[in-house]
């Protein structure tokens, strides 16, 4: 895995700087055109720097394809009114029980209201970084590394499927067919589309689905495609309770926390890449009853 260069500006208030690719020419003029006149104040304050950390000033011009770094202005966000319980913390790892509705890391309109930024602030741990991601609507076990040099080995475990995961889900639909059932299909998620879709072709997604009774299911993914568990459950005629995307998209207000997706990342298990010992982390949450 290639190692990404560290940003030339430090984390500030839990958030690292944005990395922007330039079209080329005078930098301040391009920033004004893209983000408005307020960026001139950032340039004047020395808060816009090149990849080597040199401050940009009003005369700086850079070729197309160059990168600059600057602190972004935070969007207005609806606070997510749930805490982030810590399941485990040591010198290398922080493992939390992420609540529903909280994104793992900044993306789009979710910046400060993310597990990463909130934990960096709450734990005073500016180098904290997620080793993997959970969907914003999925709750459960989420693992972070405490220092940049640790991130790669743990991320590699997830990337090569060496982490054993189990999820719990609830569906209000009547089950049909026998269980346990191994679901294999080809799932494709295209940029700009909210839903992932099953398509003909070589399967790239595999999930073991076990019925626990009373509308509860244990899901063991053997691959990690986007929305895999939600797509496979919907394909079985068992859409997960509270799902706003599958099988049909429905609008949900940003401040509506009344119907959490009944999907929980219950358990993570792996052999530690540094010590070789078995590490197991289990969520203390449960799924709400219908």
CATH of the domain at 278: 3.30.2350.10
Q: Based on the domain organization, do 233 and 104 belong to the same domain?
A: yes
Q: Which residues contact 33 (CB under 8 A, 6 or more apart)?
A: none
What pLDDT score does 5 carry?
Answer: 62
For 258, the domain range is 86-282
What pLDDT score does 4 carry?
Answer: 54
In the block, residue with structure tokens 């969907």:
135
Q: Are 285 and 82 in contact (CB under 8 A)?
A: no
Whether 11 is in a domain gets the answer no
Q: Based on the domain organization, do 91 and 180 belong to the same domain?
A: yes
Q: How many separate domains does the chain show? A: 2
Give the separation between CA 109 and CA 64, rounded to whole angstroms: 27
What pLDDT score does 2 carry?
Answer: 41
Residues of the chain with pLDDT under 50: 1-2, 290
Q: Based on the domain organization, do 102 and 241 belong to the same domain?
A: yes
Q: Which two tokens stand for residue 49?
A: 């720097």
Q: Based on the domain organization, do 113 and 239 belong to the same domain?
A: yes
């Amino acid at each position: 895995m290639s190692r990404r260069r560290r940003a030339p500006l430090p984390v500030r208030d839990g958030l690292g700087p944005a990395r922007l690719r330039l079209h080329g020419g005078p930098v301040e003029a391009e920033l004004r055109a893209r983000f408005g006149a307020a960026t001139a104040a950032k340039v004047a304050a020395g808060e816009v720097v090149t990849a080597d950390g040199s401050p940009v000033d009003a005369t700086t011009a850079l070729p197309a394809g160059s990168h600059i770094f600057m602190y972004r202005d935070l969007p207005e966000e609806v606070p997510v009114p749930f805490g982030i319980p810590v399941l485990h913390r040591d010198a290398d790892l922080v493992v939390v029980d992420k609540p529903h509705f909280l994104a793992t890391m900044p993306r789009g309109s979710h910046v400060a209201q993310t597990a990463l930024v909130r934990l960096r602030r709450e734990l005073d741990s500016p180098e904290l970084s997620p080793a993997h991601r959970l969907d914003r609507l999925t709750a459960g076990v989420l693992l972070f590394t405490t220092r940049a040099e640790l991130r790669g080995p743990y991320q590699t475990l997830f990337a090569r499927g060496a982490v054993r995961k189990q999820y719990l889900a609830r569906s209000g639909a009547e089950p049909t067919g026998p269980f346990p059932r191994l679901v294999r299909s080809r799932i494709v998620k295209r940029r700009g589309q909210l839903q992932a879709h099953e398509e003909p072709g070589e399967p790239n997604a595999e999930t073991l689905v076990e019925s626990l009774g009373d509308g509860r299911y244990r899901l063991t993914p053997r691959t990690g495609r986007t929305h895999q568990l939600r797509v496979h459950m919907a394909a079985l005629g068992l859409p997960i309770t509270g799902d706003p995307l599958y099988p049909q998209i429905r609008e949900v207000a940003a401040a509506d926390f009344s119907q959490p997706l009944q999907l929980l990342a219950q358990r993570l298990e792996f052999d530690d890449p540094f010590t070789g010992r078995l590490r197991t982390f289990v969520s203390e949450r449960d799924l709400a009853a219908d």
